[in-house]
Structure 1
């Protein structure tokens, strides 16, 4: 059965995807050992393919990843060859033609190839470790293209959705206490937070910050406020985060209403998440290729703060 996936191949801009997959049959197979291996493979894969991990969470039977794929033009031929040699585990191998080089450049920037490689390596390890065989994941992974711009809260909402998984599951009361998630990782100074200064520039216009380190720190504080359902910083007149957060108790527990705000079912089955304009742009671009059996339209609800998804709807009955 064909698996619909909206994918961009961009030479001049980054593309972001939310990626999700689950263990077949809902089995609970990811213990700490498996989660450590998933994390190891996810981050070591960055050295041979072309992607950056923006956020992640590894639960007992599924995972969510937020992946950034940089522009193809950003990688020169030297870096591409280096990744090719790591991928092939051969320090002397070279491309035999321009066509092969271009084909590999496309592959290492392709979300299907990236996640397929990650999952394949994990399944091979898992089967060796547990003396098992056969299918581990229930289906091909789901992926949604995410708008990352100052015009939409989509990135913040997706990050909150990912970070709050262990809180919704009752494992911890605060995502900073869950080892296998990007939120705890970025607070500990992990590489998962390397792009946070870019997100500060997108979402924190009313706040002044000097150094890159300050931007990263401030964005993480703002993101925590966002998870708590606090959005006043977007219209704050204050010039510093300190002035804003004096009015806000960031140590308060995450309330049920806040969790509900960040739990949207469309996040893993909708192909595109963003502003209405962004979703309509992708609908126009990709609808001819998809051969959908149902009509797809931008979809939102009141509590989603003008965030839209590309969701199918049933055709109206004839007659």
Structure 2
């Protein structure tokens, strides 16, 4: 049975989620056509609802998404009405009253509504395309709240986990060669990387940049360095980065130990990922909602570089 979902409704700050779902029975039903449809629906949804796609990968039987939900206060009434009309496919419709307007604003900033609508549209298309019927996904999607701050490299770890899926599966030796992932989109100058400059100040400390494009480029280099081994350092400060770039060629292929370090099972079956302080903050806030019968504590392991998850460690048999 799926766990309760931890969600934030924030008027003044963005919230990030790792979203995962799988086809029922482990069947391999996502071919190139299906993966392209998933991608198209996901990007089209950005215009109707209030979310930003930070990263993604579409595999043969599952997908991972890194979604940013912006603050509700960031959207004015004019933009809200535009999205309402797009969603209703009616250029003349307007809100009946303020309650309907507020409800719609909350809906399009709700990860459950956003992903639920995305999955529903895809299943409708899939069943029509393949003359099938019934349930496609095995269960409701998993979502984990991700800390994005200078206090934790959780964002980089989650992005590495997403990007390396086709490498671990043996499909490609480098994620830049896999068409249906955010990393190749970034390098090709696609929409997926247009917000990378937002992460420059968090993860590129000490590196100079002249403009937004320069910030985006530097962040992508830092992210590739992270996949190649930068995670072994405690902090990604300027001196560490300079040392690392002298030691390693960013065109190097990924080694098995690099792949393993980014494949942590807590990623898709927990509630929160971040620093210990971030996880404890969410523990306090959401414990009553979870109605847990036992005490939960932030969980980490040595190779996770001080990244914690809100998932109890399993006892060995």
- Whole-angstrom distance in 2 between the partners of 1:298 and 1:244: 30
**Superposition TM-score, scaled by structure 1 size:** 0.95
Corresponding residue number in structure 2 for 1:143: 143
RMSD: 1.7
Corresponding residue number in structure 1 for 2:97: 97
> How far 1:253 sits from its partner (Å)?
1.3
Are the equivalent residues in 2 in contact too, given 1:174–1:254 (CA < 8 A)? yes
Corresponding residue number in structure 2 for 1:234: 236
> How far 1:128 sits from its partner (Å)?
0.2
Change (3 A) 1:95 1:197: same
Are the equivalent residues in 1 in contact too, given 2:59–2:166 (CA < 8 A)? yes
Map 1:18-167; keep pairs closer than 5 Å: 18-167=18-167
Residue deviations 1:131-179 (CA, integer Å, cap 9, x gap): 0000000000000000000000000000000000000000000000000
> How far 1:251 sits from its partner (Å)?
1.8
- Whole-angstrom distance in 2 between the partners of 1:113 and 1:107: 6
> Is residue 261 from structure 1 mapped to residue 261 from structure 2 by the alignment?
yes
- Whole-angstrom distance in 1 between the partners of 2:146 and 2:119: 21
Change (3 A) 1:95 1:215: same
Are the equivalent residues in 2 in contact too, given 1:228–1:254 (CA < 8 A)? yes
- Whole-angstrom distance in 1 between the partners of 2:292 and 2:38: 33
Corresponding residue number in structure 2 for 1:298: 298
- Whole-angstrom distance in 1 between the partners of 2:298 and 2:290: 16
Residue deviations 1:33-90 (CA, integer Å, cap 9, x gap): 0000000000000000000000000000000000000000000000000000000010
Change (3 A) 1:314 1:305: closer
- Whole-angstrom distance in 1 between the partners of 2:41 and 2:26: 22
> How far 1:235 sits from its partner (Å)?
3.2
- Whole-angstrom distance in 1 between the partners of 2:259 and 2:182: 18
Change (3 A) 1:293 1:133: farther
Are the equivalent residues in 1 in contact too, given 2:149–2:202 (CA < 8 A)? yes
Residue deviations 1:86-132 (CA, integer Å, cap 9, x gap): 00010000000100000000000000000000000000000000000
Are the equivalent residues in 1 in contact too, given 2:205–2:237 (CA < 8 A)? no
Are the equivalent residues in 2 in contact too, given 1:21–1:142 (CA < 8 A)? yes
5+ residue gaps, structure 1:
none
- Whole-angstrom distance in 2 between the partners of 1:8 and 1:147: 12
> How far 1:313 sits from its partner (Å)?
5.1
Once superposed, which parts of structure 1, at least 4 consecutive aligned residues long, lie more than 6 Å away? none
Residue deviations 1:244-293 (CA, integer Å, cap 9, x gap): 63432112210111011100000001110000000000000000011124
Tell which deviates more after alignment, 179-188 or 194-203: 194-203
5+ residue gaps, structure 2:
none
> How far 1:314 sits from its partner (Å)?
6.9
Are the equivalent residues in 1 in contact too, given 2:2–2:140 (CA < 8 A)? no
Structure 2 SS opposite 1:64? strand
Structure 2 SS opposite 1:312? coil
Are the equivalent residues in 2 in contact too, given 1:158–1:267 (CA < 8 A)? yes
**Superposition TM-score, scaled by structure 2 size:** 0.95
- Whole-angstrom distance in 1 between the partners of 2:288 and 2:250: 47
> How far 1:237 sits from its partner (Å)?
3.2
